[in-house]
Structure 1
Amino acid sequence: MFERKASLWGLAIAIMISIALALFRPQAVFDYDFEQFFPQEDEELTFYQGFREKFENDNDYLLIALGRKEGIFDIGFLEKALQVQHKLDSLEFVESVLSLLTFQEPVLNVFGMRYLPVLEWENDGKLQKSKQKLKSHPQYTGNLISGDGEYLLLILKNQQMISKEDGDFLFQEVKKILTDADFDKYYAAGKIKAQGEFVDLLQGEFAFFLSISIVLIMLLLFLIFRTWWGVLLPLVVLLFGIAWTIAIMLLSGKALDVMSVMQPTILLVIGLSALVHYMTLYLQKLRSGLTKDEAIKSTFKNLFLAIFLTCLTTALGFSTLYFTSAISLKLFGVYTALGVMVMFVAVVLITPGLLYLLSPLEVSKSNRYNEFWQHALAKSFRWILQHQVLVLSSFTVISALSIIALANLKVNGYLLDNLPREHELVQEFEFFDQEFGGSKPLEFFLEVGDSSENIFQYEVLKEIDKLEAYVRKEYETGAIVSPLSLVKVLNQAQNSGNAKAFTMPSGGQYQRLKPYLGQALAKAGYALISEDLLQARLSTRTADIGSFRSSQLNKAMGLFVENEINGNLLQVKLTGTSNLIDKSHVTISDQMTKGLGVAIVLVGLIAGFLFRSWRVSFLILLPNVLPLLWMCGVMWLLDIDLKLTTAVIFTVAFGIAVDDSIHFMTKLQTELKKGRSMLYALKRTYLETGKAIVMTSIVLVSGFLVLTFSEFGVTFYTGLLISLALVFAVLADLMLLPILLLPMQRVWEKKKERKGEGRKGWGDL
């Protein structure tokens, strides 16, 4: 299979595959849609989709704060702000722009209802009067103007479910208008801005990590093999593999998203790990006296199954992400698993042919570098045998502490979880959290109970009033918009516009204002109540306090509704995109736990089938489960929460870490088949595979550590935690696994005596 002629044909086939893929001209498309992280086929998502059809999407807006150091109550500033609002309102894809500059409120008198501007600035007298009124009004201060009066808020409602391309275009137009206006300071936050910023970062990071990974690989290859062909050959193979994977992704219609940033680095280090095993054994074969052709055939014959199994187990680790309910994670798992197997094909198809063409006929048999490794590994093996109790007790204590840490980890995530808290985009969102009651939408679906006629029934409004008071206090929200807010506005209108009358009216007052509800509802200009008056929404904004705190508030909210709200009058349900994102952190974390369990079982079954022994299967799994527990301990020490960006890491780390155990056990099985004792076979395995295990782990850790330079949280945590898990896995494979295997020497000897020297494999262990 790996003779010269067949290998050169394999190289030719690889070139033809590359040409064929290039002829299709795959085009790179970048996208970031945070709704792909929503748990799909979930009743909460289904409910929200129905809510969105009846009312509107709750996050299709852009918050714009215009600031002036001396305060916004200046005629010149307000005139300039009004011009900006008119320009924004005229833009394509803008449905409306709301601010105090054009906001009107009703006034009721004997002549009926008429509307007057909330903010008047024809002269200083009227402006000062408006200023005093606004500062005492709970619906305006901290909502449409900041508490200190330095910022004016404009709420731009863009086209519902706007596409990424249209959103980018709209925000660029908005940015140009704001820049040209030359305000002292301004801030903007919203979906159309966040998505554009994310994709810009994504494009930059994708190119950065692909470039830096290649540079790192070249450096590592030179340090490991110290020859020009030892650098060029693996680099060519890896570039073929990554190019094939990206081409297949793009040709199948998969856009490059926030998860895709990690894929080049992941695939490169996995491919390089396989190549280091091949190259290391190949050089050993040459030093042992084999010819070049014999060394190539022997190397690929001996390692083919082990490399295939390590790639398969890694791919299985990624593929379990398909069983999560988030589209983004499903696609990441499927395409990364596919990429791992594509990389395997590239390695076995291209590497033998390049070795025949590029590698030397022989290498120096005297190698101080190799002698150093042999001496160091032999010394390490002796130390482990002499300190078995210390090693076992250390692993036990650390694992026990890690289990305690795991029990104390909490699930917690934020809307802009993928960015560091000091990032400019995060800072802008936090500005609106502090100055305008929040940037995170908070939505409640309201529906009349069995004993109610419509949402404007007085008894129903009283229940909404209790709900609003609770939401305002517990969630610390900004202004609340609901059917009751219309009623409060009309109550204020019939009390000469007194801000203190912006409250729930008495029964008699309600009867007097009730005839004007229809007119007020038509003037509102936004979807608030269904046409049959049986359903409505309660909308507000709150700070992004994290999913852990939100889940606590939501749970308390549910108890409040159950105990304090009369269900026969009013039914209340929390909904909205923010709720779905908060829930997705918990849902995905739970699903990843199940996925990890599936991955462990699958790897156990593969190991059991390969070695025909359940004991061996267990011994392979144990050194790779413990590093995951230790990773939990590190997360607890560093105060890293479980969330979308960290739950994924456990399955990925397990799939990669188990590779070294499979290499170790495959070599041990080969030694035992030669009739050697368990202790001698362990020593030979330790000395011959130890270097490759350490070197591949250095490659993997170095590759993943590169990801810590990322500004994306998912990429940073993947790099940090998987690197640590791989270090822990090396310690477990080279320190714990030999000790666990030593007791099997007695079992092995008994089986040999009973079955004879011709024993094959591990079958009865």
Structure 2
Amino acid sequence: MPKTMTAMDEFAVRLAKFVIGHRWLVIFATLLTTAAVTYGAQFLQMSNNYRDFFSESNPELQAFEEFQGTYTKNDNFFFTIVPEEGDVFTAETLALVEELTTEAWQIPFSLRVDSVTNFQHTWADEDDLIVEDLVKGAESLTAEELAEKSQVAITEPLLRDQLVARDGRAIAVNVVLQYPQVDPFEVPQAVEYARTLRADLLQKYPGHKIYMTGVSMLNMAFQEAGMKDVMTMIPLMYGLLLLLMAVTVRSIAGTLVTLLMIAFASMIGMGAAGFYGVALTPIALSAPTIILTLAIADAVHILITMRNSMKAGMTKRDALIEAVRVNFLAVMITSLTTAIGFLALNFGDAPPFWHLGNISAVGIVAAWAMSVTFLPAMMSLLPVRAPKLAAANENNFFARLADFVVAHNKKLFYGIGAFAIVLISAVPQIEFNDQWTEYFDESIEFRRDSDASTEYFGFYPIEFSVLAKGEGGVSEPEFLQKLDEFTQFLRQQPNVTHVYSLTDIMKRLNRNMHADEASWYKLPDDRELSAQYLLLYELSLPYGLDLNDRVNIDKSATRVTATLTNTSTLETKVFLDAARGWITENAPEYMQATVPTSAQVMFTYVAERNVESMIAGNIIAIVAIGIVMMFALKSARLGALSMVPNGLPIVVAFGAWALMVGTVGFSVAAVASVSLGIVVDDTVHFLAKYVRGIREKGYDRAGAIKYAFETVGMALVVNTVILVIGFAYLATSHFKMNADMGLLTALAITFALLFDFLFLPALMLRGSGKLISGQKDDSEGVQQNVQTQPAE
């Protein structure tokens, strides 16, 4: 062996002997370190703000924050009331809405409440403008009065399809909140109050359904989905994987020690996050599941090698030392490359993925350290016996597989290569789709209520701050005319259910000031007259229902809100492009700065933005992993060659996903980095044994490949099964992004084993020349005598 490899083996042997000789010290140090780092977990907080999914440098977030600094915040509760009898214009239903409107002001942090009952209805009384609540004392209204209120509400553009369904089957109350954002319990406090209020009203007014949606419920859903995953997924995951490990490793002691090791690694990862001040999202909360899945891999390799060595006649102590020596380099490289892959998530534009990457990387490194220290120390204490089942059957299977691969390497190379090309060609068919109501499964209340509410009202608001020509410019007739044209354009777009615009208020006021004659329902043609209407109207509005949410302070801009139904990301982009196009082609110069914004706009572009930002991160990760492989394997050619089976499974997995599913959310940006770090593991272990076969055993290529299959084949299969189960189990997450990430990563890991077993050996046998130092050019011999058995 080259000197560097000898030095590495010697170091591993010295480390193993030290650990076994000072096992109590190692165990105590492990417990002390774990307790010290886990102390930071007390500082962890749950995130309940969807803005945490976007970095501060995100331009869509910056535009939205600027918009909200000009107008009212959009944090809200949207109550959708649906009576069983199918008509909202009854005394009982309107009484419910009236009471909810009144009581909603008591919801913590409430700033404004809008409903049909407190809608500021205007009408003319000779020369006076009357402004009053549309509905008062609903319980005492006569049938004629109810019919009159119904007619006003259904024909009013600001109410129809916004706060009352045009068919009268549903009615809504919108509560706007202003959170101080100084206490993480603000949102849960408001949600708890709102839910209690709903429960009280449902008890008082039977025969109704009340659905709660809005931004505040979205924020709460992120927290609830994360907590449900923690409470259900992690315990079941521990049991499932440990059962699988007990069956494959066949060691109660090894299973118990692995349980402790992966628990400690997860605790260290979360404790480090607490010290760093991480706000936990459902994405970050999947880190413990990922850590425990990956942490098992190192233990499996060491325990299986130990088991096989004891079967060969070694004592437990010698078998432990041999297991550490044989696997030290491989587990170190796999842990390093996996950590690099997860750390690459920091290049993205979504902080939750930063946190996922950093927590997982810390846990992975901790698991590696414990696998070569804590694991041998504990195993040296506990009783261990080699299982009766001989390894011969396993070795025979993998020996036959090796013979098959070597004998048919040409067919496998071109066949699997063609298979990969076919799937890769499907990658461009993938469509990004981030509908944030569908981030959650139906066990989350927000998802159920959103689906129900969307049957009656739109759900995704798109906001425009339309600039006028200077201070007071919103009263300029030219501006109002262009604003009205823009409003009508938006209303004609597909998937738009409602548009809220100042022009509808101005038209109504102009009609009111002309004795409510229908012919005067049009925009005023005089700036002074428009300004007087606006001033008179504002002076008549009660506290909390002013126009500050529609017109900025100096009246140089106004807000237009277009509400979309449950639209896909592609449909939203079409709408946004159309709106921008209309502004560019039709609006005067002073209106050109108008840009669409909202949470929907942010989520629409988040996938593309993260994929673009992750490209650089993945390139850096690939280069870093390649360099690590070159140095570790002491072969630039072999290290570079290894990147082919490392990269192909990921791209092929995306191609398969395109054919099977077709759409992905912005979690796709994380899959490449997560998968890259993990799929390298099989390649590393296979190539490490291949190199050891040549340098230590003196085999040729075919012999070294067979040696690699026989020594590490079973461990790779076990690890792949564990990893696939672990990541596939994320599909049971209540959070869609975790489910997609888990399934896609599991698919990549499956393809990784396929490529490492069938394509990598065929690739290594292609052509001539030396892949590693000390290897003879035996390519011709391989082709002519593929069944040659390596000399032991």
Q: TM-score, normalised by structure 1?
A: 0.92
| Residue pairs, 1:301-380, within 5 angstroms | 301-360=325-384, 363=386, 367-368=389-390, 370-380=391-401
Please state how far the C-alpha of 1:247 moved relative to its aligned partner.
2.5
Deviations 1:358-408 (A, max 9, x none): 143x636x634x222112112212222233333223322222222221112
* Amino acid aligned to 1:733: D
Identity %: 19
Q: Which residue of structure 2 lines up, in the alignment, with residue 488 of structure 1?
A: 507
Q: Which residue of structure 1 lines up, in the alignment, with residue 16 of structure 2?
A: 2
Q: Relative to structure 1, is the Cα distance of residues 18 and 609 closer, same or farther in structure 2, using a 3 angstrom cutoff?
A: closer
| Residue pairs, 1:679-698, within 5 angstroms | 679-698=702-721
Q: Which residue of structure 2 lines up, in the alignment, with residue 588 of structure 1?
A: 610
2:429–2:662 Cα contact (<8 Å) kept? no
1:639 to 652, 661, 666: 661
Does 1:520 pair with 2:537?
yes
Q: Which residue of structure 1 lines up, in the alignment, with residue 672 of structure 2?
A: 650
* Amino acid aligned to 1:516: Y
User: What's the secondary structure of 2:171's corresponding residue?
Assistant: strand
Q: Which residue of structure 2 lines up, in the alignment, with residue 708 of structure 1?
A: 731
Deviations 1:77-102 (A, max 9, x none): 32343223212223332222211112
User: What's the secondary structure of 1:434's corresponding residue?
Assistant: coil
**How far apart, CA to CA, are the structure 2 residues paired with 1:558 and 1:296?**
67
| Residue pairs, 1:231-246, within 5 angstroms | 231-246=255-270
**How far apart, CA to CA, are the structure 2 residues paired with 1:566 and 1:395?**
59
1:60–1:160 Cα contact (<8 Å) kept? no
Does 1:96 pair with 2:112?
yes
Q: Which residue of structure 2 lines up, in the alignment, with residue 419 of structure 1?
A: 440
**How far apart, CA to CA, are the structure 2 residues paired with 1:538 and 1:337?**
45
Does 1:176 pair with 2:196?
yes
| Residue pairs, 1:521-540, within 5 angstroms | 521-522=538-539, 523=541, 525=546, 526-540=548-562
**How far apart, CA to CA, are the structure 1 residues paired with 2:87 and 2:145?**
16
Deviations 1:401-420 (A, max 9, x none): 22221112122211234213
The worse-fitting range, judged by mean Cα deviation, of 279-288 and 606-615 is 606-615
* Amino acid aligned to 2:403: R
1:322–1:329 Cα contact (<8 Å) kept? yes
1:271–1:343 Cα contact (<8 Å) kept? yes
2:641 to 608, 619, 627: 619
Deviations 1:292-325 (A, max 9, x none): 2222222212321211110010010010111112
Q: Which residue of structure 1 lines up, in the alignment, with residue 600 of structure 2?
A: 578
Q: Which residue of structure 2 lines up, in the alignment, with residue 156 of structure 1?
A: 175
**How far apart, CA to CA, are the structure 2 residues paired with 1:638 and 1:497?**
59
**How far apart, CA to CA, are the structure 1 residues paired with 2:776 and 2:412?**
31
Does 1:477 pair with 2:496?
yes
Does 1:458 pair with 2:477?
yes
Please state how far the C-alpha of 1:571 moved relative to its aligned partner.
3.8
Q: Which residue of structure 2 lines up, in the alignment, with residue 142 of structure 1?
A: 161
Q: TM-score, normalised by structure 2?
A: 0.89
2:460–2:565 Cα contact (<8 Å) kept? yes
Please state how far the C-alpha of 1:176 moved relative to its aligned partner.
1.9
Q: Relative to structure 1, is the Cα distance of residues 136 and 168 closer, same or farther in structure 2, using a 3 angstrom cutoff?
A: same
Q: Relative to structure 1, is the Cα distance of residues 2 and 388 closer, same or farther in structure 2, using a 3 angstrom cutoff?
A: closer
Q: Relative to structure 1, is the Cα distance of residues 389 and 449 closer, same or farther in structure 2, using a 3 angstrom cutoff?
A: farther
User: What's the secondary structure of 2:349's corresponding residue?
Assistant: coil
* Amino acid aligned to 2:88: I
Please state how far the C-alpha of 1:716 moved relative to its aligned partner.
1.3
Q: Which residue of structure 2 lines up, in the alignment, with residue 725 of structure 1?
A: 748
User: What's the secondary structure of 2:279's corresponding residue?
Assistant: coil
User: What's the secondary structure of 1:140's corresponding residue?
Assistant: coil
1:83 to 89, 93, 99: 99
User: What's the secondary structure of 1:541's corresponding residue?
Assistant: strand
1:222–1:231 Cα contact (<8 Å) kept? yes
2:321 to 294, 297, 305: 297
Please state how far the C-alpha of 1:28 moved relative to its aligned partner.
5.3
**How far apart, CA to CA, are the structure 1 residues paired with 2:308 and 2:326?**
13
1:459–1:569 Cα contact (<8 Å) kept? no
Please state how far the C-alpha of 1:493 moved relative to its aligned partner.
1.6
Please state how far the C-alpha of 1:611 moved relative to its aligned partner.
2.6
Deviations 1:610-658 (A, max 9, x none): 2343321232111121111221122112224232222211210111010
**How far apart, CA to CA, are the structure 1 residues paired with 2:188 and 2:516?**
41
**How far apart, CA to CA, are the structure 2 residues paired with 1:82 and 1:643?**
40
| Residue pairs, 1:185-200, within 5 angstroms | 185-200=209-224
Q: Which residue of structure 1 lines up, in the alignment, with residue 58 of structure 2?
A: 42
2:761 to 729, 735, 738: 738
Q: Relative to structure 1, is the Cα distance of residues 629 and 383 closer, same or farther in structure 2, using a 3 angstrom cutoff?
A: same
**How far apart, CA to CA, are the structure 1 residues paired with 2:737 and 2:301?**
29
* Amino acid aligned to 1:158: L
Please state how far the C-alpha of 1:210 moved relative to its aligned partner.
1.7
Deviations 1:453-511 (A, max 9, x none): 71221111111111111111215434433332331221232354467865x42636x76
1:430–1:439 Cα contact (<8 Å) kept? no
**How far apart, CA to CA, are the structure 1 residues paired with 2:517 and 2:447?**
38
Does 1:29 pair with 2:51?
no
* Amino acid aligned to 1:17: T
* Amino acid aligned to 1:636: A
**How far apart, CA to CA, are the structure 2 residues paired with 1:37 and 1:694?**
36
**How far apart, CA to CA, are the structure 2 residues paired with 1:217 and 1:570?**
58
**How far apart, CA to CA, are the structure 2 residues paired with 1:418 and 1:90?**
30
**How far apart, CA to CA, are the structure 2 residues paired with 1:381 and 1:566?**
73
Q: Which residue of structure 1 lines up, in the alignment, with residue 790 of structure 2?
A: none
Q: Which residue of structure 1 lines up, in the alignment, with residue 300 of structure 2?
A: 276
Q: Which residue of structure 2 lines up, in the alignment, with residue 507 of structure 1?
A: 525
* Amino acid aligned to 1:649: V
Please state how far the C-alpha of 1:142 moved relative to its aligned partner.
1.7
User: What's the secondary structure of 2:42's corresponding residue?
Assistant: coil
Please state how far the C-alpha of 1:697 moved relative to its aligned partner.
0.9
Q: Relative to structure 1, is the Cα distance of residues 613 and 449 closer, same or farther in structure 2, using a 3 angstrom cutoff?
A: farther
The worse-fitting range, judged by mean Cα deviation, of 308-317 and 675-684 is 675-684
Query: What are structure 2's unaligned runs of at least 5 residues?
Result: 1-14, 778-792
**How far apart, CA to CA, are the structure 1 residues paired with 2:275 and 2:773?**
57
* Amino acid aligned to 1:515: Q
| Residue pairs, 1:436-455, within 5 angstroms | 436=457, 438-449=458-469, 454-455=473-474
* Amino acid aligned to 2:67: F
Q: Which residue of structure 2 lines up, in the alignment, with residue 668 of structure 1?
A: 690
Q: Which residue of structure 2 lines up, in the alignment, with residue 403 of structure 1?
A: 424
**How far apart, CA to CA, are the structure 2 residues paired with 1:329 and 1:637?**
26
**How far apart, CA to CA, are the structure 2 residues paired with 1:415 and 1:219?**
36
CA RMSD of aligned residues (A): 2.6
* Amino acid aligned to 1:623: P
1:653–1:726 Cα contact (<8 Å) kept? yes
User: What's the secondary structure of 1:505's corresponding residue?
Assistant: coil
Q: Which residue of structure 1 lines up, in the alignment, with residue 88 of structure 2?
A: 72
2:506–2:533 Cα contact (<8 Å) kept? no
Does 1:212 pair with 2:233?
no
2:151 to 123, 132, 157: 132
Q: Relative to structure 1, is the Cα distance of residues 168 and 706 closer, same or farther in structure 2, using a 3 angstrom cutoff?
A: same
**How far apart, CA to CA, are the structure 1 residues paired with 2:126 and 2:691?**
98
**How far apart, CA to CA, are the structure 1 residues paired with 2:776 and 2:760?**
25
1:413–1:585 Cα contact (<8 Å) kept? yes
**How far apart, CA to CA, are the structure 2 residues paired with 1:677 and 1:585?**
47
User: What's the secondary structure of 2:22's corresponding residue?
Assistant: helix
1:442–1:540 Cα contact (<8 Å) kept? yes
Please state how far the C-alpha of 1:725 moved relative to its aligned partner.
1.0
* Amino acid aligned to 1:490: L
* Amino acid aligned to 2:253: W
* Amino acid aligned to 1:333: G
